[in-house]
Chains A and B, each alone.
Chain A
Amino acid sequence: MAVNTTTYVRSSSRTSAYLDWLQMLTGAALILFMWSHMILVASVILGAGVMNALAGFLEETYMAQVGGPIIGCIFLFHFILAARKVPFRAEQQSTIWKLSRQLRHTDTYLWLVQATTAMIILIMGSIHMWTVLTDLPITAAKSAARIQGGFWFVFYLILLPLVELHVGIGFYRIAVKWGFARRKDRKKFKKLENYLTAIFIAIGLIALLRFLLLK
């Protein structure tokens, strides 16, 4: 049993505040990115031409060449920020798992989902970004080829739900933490979170299938 009877007085510093801001802002930026990203990827549903056009636009405006690495940086930065909160010590790990099992409390449990998905996203997301960004330009045909290879299909099949879960929960968490969702709105926000996650997974799956079937 851990014992604590004192709280520590810290010298005044605003670092925590800024880090928290940045964590939220990088999170929010990544959410926005993932939504845009979904537009790009899902455009294939409408046809290879649409996707190529979008990708071409990104290419010509250098948004892919410059934006890609920037996103990569935000991604890493967000990881570093958020990792402050992730329990790496075994003792803390077991505490939080035990607690959330005991509590049977969804929001605590969701946080665990967020932290766990994050670790996997970190690895898979990096691999994915490396692959795509070292093989520019983006075209529907190249993507389709990758996915029809089988490996990437399974890869995305795993990554997609993990990302969408993380994003959905992250969205809800920002709303709650920063007081956008008040007590009376909490149920509504939670529903919204679930819908968002489900819808994005669905669109993503359709896009994947489309790639798989693209000639």
Chain B
Amino acid sequence: MARKLIFNIFRYNPQDPHSVPHTDTFDLEETESMTLFIALTQLREEKDSSLQFDFCCRAGICGACAMMINGRPGLACHTLIKNLPDEITLMPLPIFKLIGDLSVDTGTWFRAMHEKVESWVHTSKSFDPQAEEERMDNALAEEIYELERCIECGCCVAGCGTANMRQDFVGAVAMNRIARFIMDPRDQRTEKEYFEVIGTDEGIFGCMGLLGCEDVCPKHLPLQDQLGILRRKMGWSAVKQLFRRS
């Protein structure tokens, strides 16, 4: 027998002066292989066509559909209904600016993050179209890719107690990004330059090791390990600078 599902969905349309934040309840019959993507789409097309939420790739690779699913941040498109209880509560991600209902503005946040950590290869060389590419060890390429797999869904930020308490905390996603560039020999930034970006209380030293990030990341990025490595690296960097001064 198909289950009868109950959806409690946060509703608020900031553009509508008559709208106030509240929860709407919908019911829906479960179908085989149903995901939250299928369920929400069905709700919008059949029950309330003003329901706002974001999907793009619907394949777990673009990061558009993160939301609080029964209290935890996750990707709605790859959440199978059969793994959820009969009653499902959906809320927008905290921290990010609300656009309406389940939809939040991750774009602005992430652009600011990219600018803050200067998320690009810094090099003094210039590209020579005629030359053969610089060589790289395949194992290193794979290690970099491992960190590059982040899809910027924002789950790790939403699931981080520190980020929830402190608006200026950059979150694990930014730290992971920096770790990726530190690993990349093409980026010529020095340890000191990296330190300036991330060796602060908004950065690695603000992280309290809550590991919400590690546990909610839908792509299973090795955040715990990278944060540990980064803290040690930045910690030593500060100590070294202390001795260089004196």
Instruction: State if A and B touch, Cβ cutoff 8 Å.
Output: yes
Given known pairs A7-B202, A21-B238, A107-B210, the reply for A178 and B232 (CB within 8 Å) is yes
Are A179 and B225 in contact (CB-based, < 8 A)? yes
Are B215 and A105 in contact (CB-based, < 8 A)? yes
Are B222 and A16 in contact (CB-based, < 8 A)? no
Q: How many residues of A are in contact with the other chain, CB < 8 A?
A: 45
B145 interface residue per 8 A CB criterion: no
A95 interface residue per 8 A CB criterion: yes
B45 interface residue per 8 A CB criterion: no
A60 interface residue per 8 A CB criterion: no
Are B168 and A17 in contact (CB-based, < 8 A)? no
Chain B positions within 8 Å of A85 at CB level? 208
- B72 contacts which of A5, A102, A180 (Cβ < 8 Å)? A102
Are B165 and A7 in contact (CB-based, < 8 A)? no
Binary contact track A19-51/B, C-beta < 8 Å → 1, others 0: 111000000000000000000000000000000
Q: How many residues of B are in contact with the other chain, CB < 8 A?
A: 54
Chain A positions within 8 Å of B76 at CB level? none
B159 interface residue per 8 A CB criterion: yes
CB within 8 Å of B: which residues of A? 1-10, 12-14, 16-21, 84-85, 87, 92, 95-96, 99-105, 107-108, 111, 173, 176-183, 186
Are A176 and B224 in contact (CB-based, < 8 A)? yes
Give the contact stretch, choosing among B58-66, B105-113, B122-130: B105-113
Chain A positions within 8 Å of B71 at CB level? 101-104
Q: Which of B209-240 contact A (CB under 8 A)?
A: 209-212, 214-216, 222, 224-225, 227-229, 231-232, 234-235, 237-239
Are A182 and B161 in contact (CB-based, < 8 A)? no
Chain A residue nearest to B229 (CB atoms) is A179
B68 interface residue per 8 A CB criterion: yes
Are A177 and B238 in contact (CB-based, < 8 A)? no
Given known pairs A20-B235, A21-B235, A108-B161, the reply for A2 and B95 (CB within 8 Å) is yes
Chain A positions within 8 Å of B242 at CB level? 14, 18
Given known pairs A12-B196, A14-B238, A17-B234, the reply for A111 and B210 (CB within 8 Å) is yes
